[in-house]
A and B are shown apart, each in its own frame.
Chain A
Amino acid sequence: MAHHVLDMPIDEAQARALKLGDTVTLEKTLFGIRDATLIAMFDKDRRTRFDLKGHAVIHTAPNVKKADQRPGNNSGYEPVCIGTTTSMRMERFTKQLMQREGVRVIIGKGGMGPATLDALKEFGGVYLAIVGGAAALETTWIEEIEDVDMDDLHPESLWKFRIKGFGPLLVTMDSHGGSMHAEVNASAAAKRADVLARIGGL
């Protein structure tokens, strides 16, 4: 169980070096993405002007306030509160996100399913679990909203954040077929009959 500090973006070898149970802290750049963004990109074939190759995306739609544009901030927004949403709704977009856009790291909560696990294996990527609902803390890891694309989808725009010490995050799905979420689910399913028997629920 190693700890990795990654300056984003990363290459395939760096992604494949990450193993289940490792912890990761990200530096430099992180993109925010979620339901409406992904529907626009892959169901409606909208293209972003951002280069996502080798980058990390986090499942989020932030609370922001208007700010003046200045060097290092082309977005016109400042963060108010930035946190993470449930990943599973975005399951069917992972493959395209990795294949077409070159994304290597997905950050979210609650884990993802078999289609994501396959894509992580095929293209070389990793899913990092963050503690959902801990947004006040997460916001302190974000220095600036550098830029925003597709802001007509606000707040579900494509966000570019400058980050500092973003983590530690836990590797819960890796490129070697490992999924802590699948393990926990299987273990809960195995306990089901005993638990139900004790309360007259069988």
Chain B
Amino acid sequence: MQVDIKEIEEVAKTLYIRALKLLPTDIKQGFERLMRDETSTTGKTVLGTMVENIAVAERTKNLLCQDTGIPIYNIRIGRDVSLDGAAMKEAIRRGCERATKEHPLRSSVVHPITRKNEQTSCGIGVPVINIDFDERPETLEIEMIPKGSGSENGSFLQMLIPADGVGAVKRFVVDKVIECGGRVCPPTIVGVGIGGTSDVCMHLAKVAATRPLGSKCSDEEGAKIEAQLSEAVNELGIGPQGLGGRSTSFRVHVEVAATHITMNPVAVNIQCHSARRASATITPGGIAFA
């Protein structure tokens, strides 16, 4: 399959806007589950407002949240796909900028030192473009994640040592959830990375935070910790928006990677309740949005 670069630009633009307006089905179902289980009156009211907001965004065709985030594009290239990789990256950048100017969207991206906003949602290294490969024949998947900053500021890395054990990993996660309180816009998805190098660990946490609800860590030991921490954080009473209640998180997600004999790294990256993502799958049959 030969990929048309112009098509990638259009898809990159469309995905940014779609992601900002339509919440994925798994997250909507997550809200239904939390509404059933929430015992706090304030918690129920806050969740109710969030659910109402999802309906208002759909009805008025508006953005769910004003934070247009840091734009992240995850590219997965299957087998027998032919494309100009450098041109693809430029096309994604153009699509991201066009979404910002043509919709229009708030550009939330600034130079880290001068703080200058180019009003394009782009800058040095932004949009973030992650490229990976998989087995699917003649398939190119583009996933777009507008990562909100309130929850992105809830990011932490600790290079624990082997003597600290797995108990310290769990303690680190619970302590960070307590520290963040309502600032990260709960109910959240708490993404946890365990292992790897420092950068891999942080990336694992991001992958975990942006994974669909209902998915499970592929590593058996990781899945056990995922289940334990998911229970634990909802017993802290932080609740929706940190105003009290059970629904602190939809779920804790864990991703793992092998690490060094001297290392025991753990990372946390949090996703707010506006857990937005959109994807497009390009095959010889056409483009399917999800």
Interface residues of chain A, those whose CB is within 8 Å of chain B, are 36, 60-65, 80-86, 88-89, 109-111, 129, 131-137, 139-140, 154-155, 170, 172, 180-181, 183-185, 187-189, 191-192, 194-196, 198-202
Q: A185 and B178 in contact (CB under 8 A), knowing A131-B46, A198-B232, A199-B228? A: yes
- List, in ascending order, chain A residues with CB within 8 A of B244's CB: 180, 183-184, 187
Can you spell out 17 A-B residue pairs with CB atoms less than 8 angstroms apart? A61-B66, A63-B104, A64-B106, A84-B66, A109-B185, A110-B242, A133-B148, A133-B272, A135-B53, A137-B56, A181-B181, A184-B242, A192-B178, A199-B229, A200-B166, A201-B168, A202-B171
- List, in ascending order, chain A residues with CB within 8 A of B278's CB: none
Interface residues of chain B, those whose CB is within 8 Å of chain A, are 42, 46, 49-50, 52-54, 56-57, 60, 62-68, 103-108, 115, 117, 119, 148-150, 153, 166-168, 170-171, 174-175, 178, 181-185, 228-229, 231-232, 235-244, 272-274
Number of A-B contacts (CB under 8 A): 180
> Min CB distance, B89 to chain A, in Å?
26
Q: Are B104 and A109 in contact (CB under 8 A)?
A: no
- List, in ascending order, chain A residues with CB within 8 A of B228's CB: 199
Bound Cα distance from A129 to B43, whole angstroms: 13
Bound Cα distance from A180 to B241, whole angstroms: 11
Q: Are A133 and B178 in contact (CB under 8 A)?
A: no
> Min CB distance, B255 to chain A, in Å?
18
- List, in ascending order, chain A residues with CB within 8 A of B181's CB: 110-111, 181, 184-185, 188
Q: Are A109 and B238 in contact (CB under 8 A)?
A: no
> Min CB distance, A78 to chain B, in Å?
11
> Min CB distance, A181 to chain B, in Å?
6
The A interface, classified by DSSP as helix, strand, loop or mixed, is mixed
Contact among A110, A181, A189 with B150 in the assembled complex (CB-CB below 8 Å): A110
Contact among B66, B239, B242 with A135 in the assembled complex (CB-CB below 8 Å): B66
Q: Are A155 and B64 in contact (CB under 8 A)?
A: no
Q: Are A132 and B171 in contact (CB under 8 A)?
A: no
> Min CB distance, A139 to chain B, in Å?
6
Q: A195 and B65 in contact (CB under 8 A), knowing A133-B185, A136-B56, A184-B238? A: no
Q: Are B115 and A133 in contact (CB under 8 A)?
A: no
> Min CB distance, A131 to chain B, in Å?
4
Q: Are B171 and A196 in contact (CB under 8 A)?
A: yes
Q: Are A155 and B243 in contact (CB under 8 A)?
A: no
Closest-by-CB residue of A relative to B153 is: A86
Bound Cα distance from A196 to B165, whole angstroms: 14
Closest-by-CB residue of A relative to B21 is: A136
